[in-house]
């Protein structure tokens, strides 16, 4: 069965404590993997698209990487304003499927 | 107005009511979507419209009825809902079908509570 799984479900970090979020997928025919950020009470906001294994994208303190089975969102020296839910989505064949998200809390 | 605007932001309705959710995009996009977001669950795609034609309907119950009168407006008509339909309903748009572009622009959502 095609699946997109994000882990951990929730992550609490101290400000400046770097970590990574995981998005693993079991689909065939990957055409793209997307990362979104969602703040409470708001819709998701697009961050990155990754198309092939080995590709990396960076934006401020965030770096997304992709392998053949998973993607990581690395957060370097996070700040409280990075607190949000991070969603990944996988495009394969003619379908697009979201993970359930990782809720990140960064404490000052 | 910029981006994707959804109204109302909050809606409480009884199981026998009829209500509608409205979405308007000011981005010049030609594809629009309805998603359902329930707590701790992945976003569920409900409907996709491309150039005002419905291109996808993911086995959504008939008590949800979409309408796309033009490429800037999308409605979700609600009738005889069930309590399990309570969720955040998100509208999104993209410049082409998202399968090709990957980037969706979301509204802030309509929080629906069915009593």
Residues 6+ apart with CB under 8 A from A102: A6, A7, A8, A9, A10, A11, A21, A22, A85, A86
Q: How far is B75 from chain A (nearest CA, A)?
A: 17
Q: How far is B44 from chain A (nearest CA, A)?
A: 8
Alpha helix segments (H runs only) across chain B: 98-101
pLDDT value of position B101: 61
* Contact indicator for A95, A2 with CB cutoff of 8 Å: yes
Give residue-wise pLDDT tens across range A55-73. Answer: 999 999 999 999 999 999 9
**Secondary structure class of A82 (helix, strand, coil):** helix
pLDDT value of position A12: 98
* Contact indicator for B35, B6 with CB cutoff of 8 Å: no
Query: Distance (Å, rounded) from C-alpha B60 to C-alpha B48?
Result: 12
Neighboring chain A residues of B106 at a CB cutoff of 8 Å: 43-45
Give residue-wise pLDDT tens across range A60-108. Answer: 999 999 999 999 999 999 999 999 999 999 988 777 899 999 999 999 9
Neighboring chain A residues of B92 at a CB cutoff of 8 Å: 43
Flag whether pLDDT at B2 surpasses 90. no
Closest to B2 (Cα-Cα) out of B20, B22, B27, B31: B27
CB pair distance less than 8 Å for A46 and B99: no
pLDDT value of position A92: 85
Query: Distance (Å, rounded) from C-alpha B17 to C-alpha A95?
Result: 33
Q: Which residue has 């409480």 as its token pair?
A: B12
């Amino acid at each position: 069965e095609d699946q997109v799984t994000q882990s951990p479900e929730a992550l609490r970090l101290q400000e400046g404590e770097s970590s990574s979020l995981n998005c693993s997928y079991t689909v065939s025919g990957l055409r793209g993997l997307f990362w979104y950020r969602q703040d409470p009470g708001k819709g998701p906001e697009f961050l990155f698209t990754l198309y092939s294994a080995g590709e990396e994208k960076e934006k401020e303190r965030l770096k997304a990487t992709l392998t053949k089975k998973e993607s990581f969102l690395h957060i370097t020296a996070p700040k409280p304003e990075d607190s949000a839910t991070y969603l990944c989505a996988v495009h394969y064949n003619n379908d697009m499927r979201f993970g359930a998200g990782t809720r990140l809390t960064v404490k000052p | 107005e910029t981006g994707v605007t959804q109204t109302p932001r909050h809606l409480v309705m009884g199981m026998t009511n009829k209500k509608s959710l409205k979405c308007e995009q000011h981005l010049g996009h030609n594809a629009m979507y309805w998603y359902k977001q329930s707590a701790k669950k992945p976003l569920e795609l409900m409907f996709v419209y491309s150039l005002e034609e419905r291109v996808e309907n993911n086995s959504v119950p008939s008590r949800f009825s979409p309408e796309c009168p033009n490429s800037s407006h999308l409605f979700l008509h609600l009738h005889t809902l069930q309590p399990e339909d309570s969720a955040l309903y998100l509208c999104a748009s993209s410049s082409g079908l998202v399968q090709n572009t990957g980037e969706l622009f979301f509204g802030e959502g309509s929080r629906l509570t069915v009593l």
